[in-house]
Structure 1
Amino acid sequence: MRLPTWLSQHLAALRALLVFTVLLGLAYPLLFVGLGKLPGLSGKAAGSMTPVGSTLIGQSFTDADGNPVPKYFQSRPSAAGDGYDPTSTSASNLGPESVVDTLSDNPDVASQSLLTQVCSRSLAVGKLEGVDGSRPYCTTDGVGAVLAVFYRDGLTGPVTRVVSVNQTGTPFVSTYRGVTVEPAKNETDYVAEGGVITPIRGDAPAEPAVPADAVTASGSGLDPQISVAYANLQAPRIARERGITLDRVHQLIKDNTTGRALGFMGEPAVNVLELNLALDGR
């Protein structure tokens, strides 16, 4: 007996539902659970948890006030939530053109440009490690060295006015092309007023002592590794705080360094949690 069309269509839909439920709801997940049990993958699949964190997700090694604990290696900055939050993984979405701060007495309005974030972090790392934390296009007090330059004819002609857009106090330079530099005023858009944004390089070394990954967050905000260069920068502090030899610290760095992915992608990196656990003898 031929079934009614509407009933045939419903039965076909039901069969498709059952087939895809088995394939995608059972077989597919179980396949990847099985793959996760394979040697070499089981640790990552399980989250590589230790009693103090995961070796796959970065974390801060700071005290209750947010200050670095001197006896531990420090991770790179994170823009994920309040830092290394897996539920808020993200980058800052700030790029090379982000050089002008939003100045305001209202903390909900004020924000730092990427340049100022890099400058302030570099000074802090330099102070912690006892090295020169200066960088090109940064002021000595850790903000972006950026001027809004006003020209008589818009983009050309003599300079008529200059504003240090990231400083409300004394500008980092007193004059620019013979014109006195003014401090900025809160919540003022100098670009809209006709100013040409002009970063000033300064006399910082072309190759800063503080590596880039010490002052910039990763794309995910969760990276558990730092560069070998950043680890080596921290090594003298660790040796001093722990009362161990510098050679011993360098050996631990080497032991916890992973090579390039697939042998050619990226750079060697050091897992900060594993390195700190090794220092603690765990």
Structure 2
Amino acid sequence: MHAPSWIRQHLAALRALLVLTVLLGVLYPLAVFAAGRLPGLSDRADGSLVERNGRVVGSSLIGQPFTDRDGAPLRQYFQSRPSNAGDGYDPTSTGASNLGPEDVVDTLPDPSLTAAGREDGNARKSLLTQVCERSRDAGALEGVDGRRPYCTPGGTGAVLAVFGERAADGSVPRPVRVVSLNEQQGVVKAPFVAAYRGVRVELARYGEDYAEGLVVPVKGGAPDEPAVPADAVTASGSGLDPHISRAYADLQAARVAKARGVPVEQVEQAIGDAEAGRALGFMGEPAVNVLELNLALDEAHPYRG
């Protein structure tokens, strides 16, 4: 005698549940755990934690900030690459900004909120402005020219909205109005350029719609090869990159040497010792692990400030 079809269906579902529970809920986690205990992998599975004097000071695989409680860079330490993971270097919120090269226009903050000392949650800085701001700040910290193409001296994206009749190619040969989109009236005194094709440039006003204007980035007079390297102004795809380029490390060497009171040659030597080669010998570029470099300097040349 055969059982009713609905009972057979329920029994089949129960068997599938039990099999998948054993496979995916028991055997698979155990296999992953066992793989993580293999020689050469156990350290990474545990987070590649770095200890000094019995205290965990970071991870060799996850970047971290080297700043004071107010977020200002500590001059005796090499600074890490920027991070967009959560509030910065958060392994539970790993990710990039997902902003592309065409993201050049800011969403301006409400002046009534900023005047009251409050943050406008709807305001947003474009990728271009983030890059410009970071380059300006890095240049000031390292004592070099922080200017970049398509950036204003104030550290925002140098972008205009040009109004007028469009030509066949989409350009506006005879503008009737020009607005500096990322410079807000009441925040800056004057636009980064006074006129564009004979038309006076205006500052942007909060709440105005400039969507009909042609967006025109202005390259400006910054050098084509900026003094501040690209990895100093852009976040990595994971937001957790613990490495910086050799160029960015070399840029910081003079500041760190001065703060620690040692010859810059000794700091350069420490950079070379902390430099890692290309992945698998051919992928990417040589890089410097920031945490390992800073720890090596703390041991060899302690900060006396």
The amino acid of 1:176's aligned partner reads Y
Cα offset, 1:30, TM superposition: 2.1
User: What secondary structure, in the 3-state scheme, does the structure 2 residue paired with 1:20 have?
Assistant: helix
- Matched with 2:225 is 207
- 1:230 partnered with 2:248: yes
- 1:58 partnered with 2:63: yes
- Matched with 2:30 is 30
Distance 1:147 1:121 in 2: 21
User: What secondary structure, in the 3-state scheme, does the structure 2 residue paired with 1:159 have?
Assistant: coil
The amino acid of 2:229's aligned partner reads P
User: What secondary structure, in the 3-state scheme, does the structure 1 residue paired with 2:182 have?
Assistant: coil
User: What secondary structure, in the 3-state scheme, does the structure 2 residue paired with 1:281 have?
Assistant: helix
TM-score, normalisation: structure 2: 0.85
Cα offset, 1:156, TM superposition: 3.9
Question: Per-residue CA shift, 1:37-86, capped at 9, x if unaligned?
Answer: 22322211110113112222111110011100000110111111211112
TM-score, normalisation: structure 1: 0.91
- Matched with 1:135 is 148
Could you tell me whether the CA contact under 8 Å between 1:102 and 1:187 is conserved in 2? no
Further displaced range: 4-13 or 176-185: 4-13
- Matched with 1:158 is 174
Matched length: 280
Further displaced range: 71-80 or 22-31: 22-31
Distance 1:7 1:166 in 2: 67
Could you list the runs of 5+ residues in structure 2 that have no partner in the other structure?
51-55, 114-119, 301-305
CA RMSD of aligned residues (A): 2.0
Distance 2:5 2:107 in 1: 66
- Matched with 1:183 is 203
Cα offset, 1:237, TM superposition: 1.0
The amino acid of 1:71's aligned partner reads Q
Percent pairwise identity? 65
Distance 1:180 1:54 in 2: 53
Could you list the runs of 5+ residues in structure 1 that have no partner in the other structure?
none
Distance 1:129 1:26 in 2: 53
Cα offset, 1:177, TM superposition: 0.9
- Matched with 2:132 is 119
Cα offset, 1:13, TM superposition: 4.4
Distance 2:63 2:229 in 1: 18
Distance 1:161 1:4 in 2: 79
Could you tell me whether the CA contact under 8 Å between 1:81 and 1:89 is conserved in 2? yes
Instruction: Classify 1:31/1:162 alpha carbon distance in 2 versus 1 (closer, same or farther; 3 Å).
Output: same
